[in-house]
Each structure stands twice: as C-alpha cells, then as structure tokens.
Structure 1
Amino acid sequence: MLNITLKAFVIWLGILILAILNGVIREAILIPEIGKNAGFILSGILLSTCILLVTYFTLPWIGKRSVTTYIFIGIGWLCITLLFEFSFGLAQGNSWLQLFEAYTFKDGNIWPIVMIVIAVAPYLSAKIRS
C-alpha cells in the first residue's frame, strides 16, 4: 500500500508543478490578453485537462487497482491540494475570507470544478482505460 501511496503522491507533485505553471501563465499571459473572467475560465479548463491527461497517462504506473483504491487516491489528491492551497495562502498572509473566495465562482474562477476534477480523475481515467 505504501508503494501505491508514494506513486500517487509523486503524480500529485507533477500535477502541482503543472498547476503552478498554469497560474503563472494565467497571470502573465491569459488575464492581460483576454481579461480576468475569460482568463480564469480558460486557466481552469487548461488545468483540468492537464490533470486528466497526467492521470490517464500515469495510471499504468500505479497498476490495475480496485475502484475503491482509485476513489481513495482522488480523495487523497483533493485533501493534499486543499492542505497545500490553504497552507500556502495563509503563509502568504491571506485571510481565510480571501482563501475561501477562490471557491465562489467569482470573476470566472472555476476552481471548485478543478477540485472536482482532481478528485474524480483517478477513477475516471481508470474507467476510460478499462
């Protein structure tokens, strides 16, 4: 079980790197070029697509597992993503109100949908692969 957990964590780290790059691209290119609302929406779609592709292509590394395992991996990814988001935000001096604002669909932000995607990506990818 530790092997699966470690592999799932390594995959999540890859997703984290892509998410950070996505944020840099959103702030440096998308929002200045197409505006805040469209930039957030496109950024969310791009990140969700990256999450699904990474999960789909790395799933064989985890190996064929039970549906329950894929569900636990998705829930684990969701939990560590939320832990990372809130810890990083608080460390930057953001208030709880500012942190929760990302979950309100304000200004085109579709972060709650991205969170759903990260939670279901392992199960969905396994379903597509089988």
Structure 2
Amino acid sequence: MHLCSLFVSLPIWISFIPVAILNGGFRDYVLVKFLLDKCALAVSGIILSISILLVAKILLSRVKKLSRTDCLVISFVWILLTVLFEFGMGLATGSSVCELLKAYNPSSGNLWLLVVVATGAAPFLALKSRNK
C-alpha cells in the first residue's frame, strides 16, 4: 500500500465535514418546510450520500498509484473516522449512545447507514472512474 494515498485521502475525508454541515442546514432550513421531518431526513441522507460520492470521485480519482488495496484501506479508515466523528460530536453535544444508535435504523427515516456505506464505497468509485 502506498501510505501517500492514505495521507492524501485524509483531507478529502475532512472535506466531507463541511458538506455534511451544509446538508444538515439545507435539511433544517429548506427541506423541512416542504416535507415531513421523516421524509426530510431521508432525502437529506440521500443528498449527503450522493455528495460524498461526488466529492470523493472528483478528488480521489486524481490520486496517482491508487490500487484496490489502497481503496480498501481508505474505505476502512473513512468508515471508522465517520463513525467516530459522528459519535464524538453527538456525545459532545449531549446525545446519548442510544440516540446515536437510532440513526443506524433506516426505518426511522434516518438514512445515516446509507451515508456510511457511501463513504466506504466512495474510494472504489473513484478508482473505477480513474481507470476509465
């Protein structure tokens, strides 16, 4: 594995944070005015997933010498960072572990699990688009 690929991928993952914040603002200030809360939450999850895939495709596809093994490691690291960040911010803002775990139940309307899966799939999408 090229450690350079992993180090280059970290700022890309960090760029997901403002994208997620903007998405949350869009949900809270726009979507909820037109949709029920549960629907707004689901639409927001889809938008964030697509946004993460696009950002990763644009930025990570420019990384030279990106192998399938690199993508696997990057996927694991990005998923780990995403879950740790979400739990860290949630606990820091007063949410309980039970409340945070509810986000992983898609039947609640929260598609956070889709966001985590998209984050993990994003490096492979970038590799595939680079190889075309």
Q: TM-score, normalised by structure 1?
A: 0.91
Query: Structure 1: which 5+ runs fail to align?
Result: none
8 A Cα contact 2:60 2:123, kept in partner: yes
8 A Cα contact 2:75 2:123, kept in partner: yes
What is the distance in 2 between the residues matched to 1:122 and 1:3?
15
Following superposition of structure 1 onto structure 2, how do residues 18-57 of structure 1 map, counting pairs within 5 Å?
Answer: 18-57=19-58
What is the distance in 1 between the residues matched to 2:106 and 2:50?
19
Which one has a larger percent helix, Structure 1 or Structure 2? 1
Query: Structure 2: which 5+ runs fail to align?
Result: none
What is the distance in 1 between the residues matched to 2:117 and 2:68?
17
When structure 1 is superposed on structure 2, of 1-10 and 35-44 the one drifting more is 1-10
Q: Are positions 1:67 and 2:74 aligned together?
A: no
CA offsets, 1:24-48, max 9 Å, x none? 1111111232111221121111111
SS at structure 1 position matched to 2:62: helix
Following superposition of structure 1 onto structure 2, how do residues 86-97 of structure 1 map, counting pairs within 5 Å?
Answer: 86-97=87-98
What is the distance in 1 between the residues matched to 2:104 and 2:46?
15
SS at structure 1 position matched to 2:14: helix
8 A Cα contact 2:102 2:108, kept in partner: no
CA offsets, 1:5-63, max 9 Å, x none? 22111001111110111011111111232111221121111111111111111123322
Q: What is the match of residue 17 of structure 1?
A: 18
SS at structure 1 position matched to 2:125: helix
What is the distance in 1 between the residues matched to 2:51 and 2:16?
8
User: Which one-letter code corresponds to 1:109 in the other structure?
Assistant: N
What is the distance in 2 between the residues matched to 1:64 and 1:39?
39
What is the distance in 2 between the residues matched to 1:99 and 1:90?
8
What is the distance in 2 between the residues matched to 1:106 and 1:93?
23
What is the distance in 2 between the residues matched to 1:61 and 1:19?
22
Q: Give me the identity figure in percent.
A: 36
Moved over 4 A (4+): none
The count of aligned residue pairs is 130
Alignment RMSD:
1.4
Q: TM-score, normalised by structure 2?
A: 0.90
